[in-house]
Amino acid sequence: MFATLSDRLTSTFKNLRTKGRLSEADIDATVREIRRALLDADVAVPVVRSFTGAVRERALSAEVSGALNPAQQVVKIVNEELVAILGGQTRTLNLAKNPPTVILLAGLQGAGKTTLAGKLALHLKGQGHTPLLVAADLQRPNAVTQLQVVGERAGVPVFAPHPGNQGSEDLLPFGADPVAVAREGLATAKTKLHDVLIVDTAGRLGVDAELMQQASDIRDALDPDEILFVIDAMIGQDAVTTAQAFADGVGFTGVVLSKLDGDARGGAALSVASVTGKPIMYASTGEKLTEFEVFHPDRMASRILDMGDILTLIEQAEKAFDAGQAEEMVDKLASGKDLTLEDFLTQMQQLRNAGPLKKMMGMLPGMGQMREALDNFDEREVDRIEAIIRSMTPAERRTPKIINGSRRSRIAAGSGTKPSDVNQLLERFDGAQKMMRQMAKGGGVPGMPPGMGNLPGMGGKKSRGRTAAPVRKVKGKSGNPARRAEQERGITSKPAAPQGSAFGIAPKAEPTSPAEIELPAGLDRFLGGR
């Protein structure tokens, strides 16, 4: 979503790095480019004015003029001001002292409240809570059914005593009472000992008095601990108007951004927290229920400035990767065993569980410079690799060297690929095996400085009580087995050249007394020899 804004800001800062000292004109030009980039990203005008004013004031102060690297100092200022307009600090849920904690979801129709209710429930379930979903949106057609499906996928129970609107028009069925449903849901949560209650409410295509009144009545009936305003991150400038209307009519304690994976300009994310004064608490980053994360202002600012988001990447990897399998893999490499295609398949499946590879690679620092390559990355390539490996027999996966021409043809036919695709996979895997062997021996990753890039626990083996003797490498080993054995034991038929010799020519013996020193002819007269 922030790709265009990130590219514009990165280009602006790149021009600063060529200057050792920044004048007032340089700073004004930089602030002007930042203002244009933010306005193009649909950030609210008052937010842009406040942001650029703060950046300019700080950039003209002593903290930049006295810095060793003014360009880096300006980037630091922009990063800190971005964090400020995004909310400053990470805000988590305020849990009730006496359960259940009541969370009310509000927002316009189409913002993604129902799906987000399931995502939030799954997120809280993973933290050890026992959430209950309440279907209080009885107006939108099939909203109750959708919440039941989402709850089933998340493994969370849904309280839905009324089927809701089953027609095609957006009307409240006769006799349906969303406030009563919400009240009954709270009583059910207390009876069945659910510690979190998530209430999905109705929305409209626009803000109106009926919508606000219904949300206000549910709020008064439940007295929720948290009211989360769900906003579509793709609606641009209108996000500020809608958020302000809900803040005045219903009130909310936090904001949830949905559809943050879209290709819109993202101005809502940079505007809503600053305008409403309420923090952004969560972000929905995809269609899957697991694509949901806590919103960290500092990490989001780091993504916008193309500094990456390593902490979020690590958190997602920890959730997806099996610690036991990872430890077994390290032990296997440390013992000198080669990785097999079965190991590779397992690791690839765990990597895919962490999320789309394109999204994960985008969290690495500096990946904005490779945006075109990332955009052209085909996730289906991973499917093809998996199909090729699954078309192999267990013996072929463990020992790829036995795969000959006929086996390649069979594997290609079974996976729907070409024999050349199988060859490419085997060549890449062979290269990966060689690299892992070097890392296991303590050689590090090829191309990295010595002593760096080794895997944990792979610094080379030591013998007990003494230092292991270095292994002597012999070039040009003989094809004769006996001769080869002698070479490997360090035995050679040629006498070793004396130390310090060049090309095998022994130097003259060093003199043992001053009288044995040979001086050039005629030099003795200068040493008192007259």
Pick out the residues of the known binding site for GTP: 107-114, 200-204, 258-261
Q: Please tell me whether residue 410 adopts helix, strand or coil conformation.
A: helix
For residue 100, is the peptide bond before it cis, meaning its omega torsion is within 30 degrees of 0? yes
C-alpha–C-alpha distance, residues 375 and 358, integer Å: 8
Q: Please tell me whether residue 125 adopts helix, strand or coil conformation.
A: helix
Q: How many CB atoms lie within 10 A of CB 444?
A: 18
C-alpha–C-alpha distance, residues 145 and 148, integer Å: 5
- Nearest residue to 201 (alpha-carbon basis) of 337, 109, 303, 280: 109
One-character DSSP codes across 163-200: ----SSS--PPTT--HHHHHHHHHHHHHHTT-SEEEEE
Q: Which residues contact 17 (CB under 8 A, 6 or more apart)?
A: 71
* Binding-site residues from annotation: 107-114, 200-204, 258-261
Q: Please tell me whether residue 27 adopts helix, strand or coil conformation.
A: helix
CA 311 centroid distance within chain: 7
C-alpha–C-alpha distance, residues 451 and 232, integer Å: 49
- Nearest residue to 417 (alpha-carbon basis) of 426, 196, 296: 426
For helices 143-154 and 113-126, the axis angle rounded to 10 degrees is 20
Long-range CB contacts for residues 126-131, cutoff 8 Å, separation at least 24: 129/195, 129/196, 130/193, 130/194, 130/195, 130/196, 131/156, 131/194, 131/195, 131/196, 131/197, 131/198
- Is residue 285 within 8 Å of 362, Cβ to Cβ? no
C-alpha–C-alpha distance, residues 134 and 116, integer Å: 13
Per-residue tokens: 368: 């904005």
DSSP 93: -
Per-residue tokens: 55: 């950046």
Q: Which residues pair with 131 in a beta bridge?
A: 196
- Nearest residue to 473 (alpha-carbon basis) of 492, 488, 495, 494: 488
C-alpha–C-alpha distance, residues 211 and 249, integer Å: 10
Q: Please tell me whether residue 99 adopts helix, strand or coil conformation.
A: coil
- Nearest residue to 285 (alpha-carbon basis) of 234, 348, 341: 234
C-alpha–C-alpha distance, residues 64 and 294, integer Å: 33
CA contacts within 13 A on the Cβ side of 257? 32
Based on the number of CB atoms within 10 Å of its own CB, is 276 exposed (0-12), middle (13-18) or buried (19 or more)? buried
Q: Are strands 280-284 and 292-294 parallel, antiparallel or unpaired?
A: antiparallel
